[in-house]
Amino acid sequence: MVAELFPKLVTLLSFTVLGAAFLLIVRRDLAGQVRLFAVQSLTLAVLAAVIAAFTRSIELAGVAAALALLKVVVIPRVLTRAVAKIGLQPAALPYLGTPATLVVCGGLVTIAFYVMAPVAASNPLPTAEAIPIAFAGVLIGFFVMINRRRALTQILGFLMLENSIFLLALLATYGVPFIVEMGVFLDVLVAVLIMEVFIYRIKENFDSIEVDRLGRLKG
C-alpha cells in the first residue's frame, strides 16, 4: 500500500513544484513571486520529509527540516525585506509575453522528458518517474532568468532552479550526502545574501533593479 502510494505521492508533489515554477512565469508582482517560492520550497520540504519517512533516513529528515527553515522561512524573509526596501517599481515587461513563454516552457518540458528519459529508465528507485519533472523545473527556472528583466526575479528564478536541482537529487538518489547538502545550503544562503546586497547597490547606482541597465561592459 505504502509502496504503491509513495511513487504517486512523490510524482504529485513534484508536479506541484513544477506548477509553482509555471506560476512564477505568470506572476508579475514581486511579493507574490516570493510567496510562490516559499510555497514551492515548502512542497519540496514535504516531499523530502515523505521520502525521509519512506526510507527511514534521519539524515534526510534533517535535510528536510533545514530546507524548510532555510527556504521557507529565512530566504523568503530576506527577499520580502528586499522587496520592501526597493519599494514600488514599474513592472518591466519580460522579453517574451506570457503566452509565448508558456509555449516555450511546454517545449522545455518536452526537452526535459526527452533528455532525462534514459536516466529515469535506468533508475531502480520508485521515485525515478518524476526525474524529468525535476529537470523541467531546472530548465524553467533557467528560462525565467533569461526572460525576466528584474534582478530580483532573476534571483527567484535561480532559487527555483536550485530547488529543482534539489528535487532532482532527491528523486534520483534520495539526496546527496548530508554534509554536501549542508554545504549547498550554506552556499545558497550566502549567495542570496550577497545578491540582496547587490540588489541594493544596483538600486543605489542605477535607480532601478532592471538588469538591462547593466549594459556598460561590452566587447
Applying CB under 8 A, the residues found at the interface with other proteins are 95, 111, 114-116, 118-119, 122-124, 135, 138, 142-143, 145-147, 149, 151, 154, 158, 161-162, 165, 168-169, 172-173, 176-177, 179-180, 183-184, 186-187, 190-191, 194-195, 198, 201-202, 205-206, 211-212, 214-219
User: In 10 A of CB 142, how many CB atoms?
Assistant: 16
Give min distance, CB of 136 to other proteins, in A: 13
Q: 5 or 131: whose CB is closer to other proteins?
A: 131
Q: Pick the closer one to other proteins by CB: 99 or 219.
A: 219
Nearer to other proteins, 5 or 177 (CB): 177
Name the strand (E) or helix (H) holding 137. Answer: helix 131-147
Cβ proximity to other proteins: between 1 and 183 the closer is 183
Q: Residue 198 CB, nearest distance to other proteins (Å)? A: 5
- DSSP-derived letter for residue 56 is T
For residue 209, the minimal CB distance to other proteins (Å) is 10
Supply the minimum distance, in Å, between the C-beta of residue 92 and other proteins.
12
> CB-wise, 5 or 110, nearer to other proteins?
110
Contact 167, 137 (CB under 8 A): yes
Q: How far is the CB of 196 from other proteins (least distance, A)?
A: 11
3-state percent helix, strand, coil for the chain, nearest multiple of 5: 85, 0, 15
The end-to-end CA distance of the chain, in Å, is 61
DSSP 172-205: HHSSS-HHHHHHHHHHHHHHHHHHHHHHHHHHHH
User: Minimal distance in Å, beta carbon 114 to other proteins?
Assistant: 7
48 grid coordinates: 523530502
| 210 SS3 class | strand
Which is nearer to other proteins, 20 or 211 (by Cβ)? 211
As given in the structure block, the three cell numbers for residue 119 are 536516466
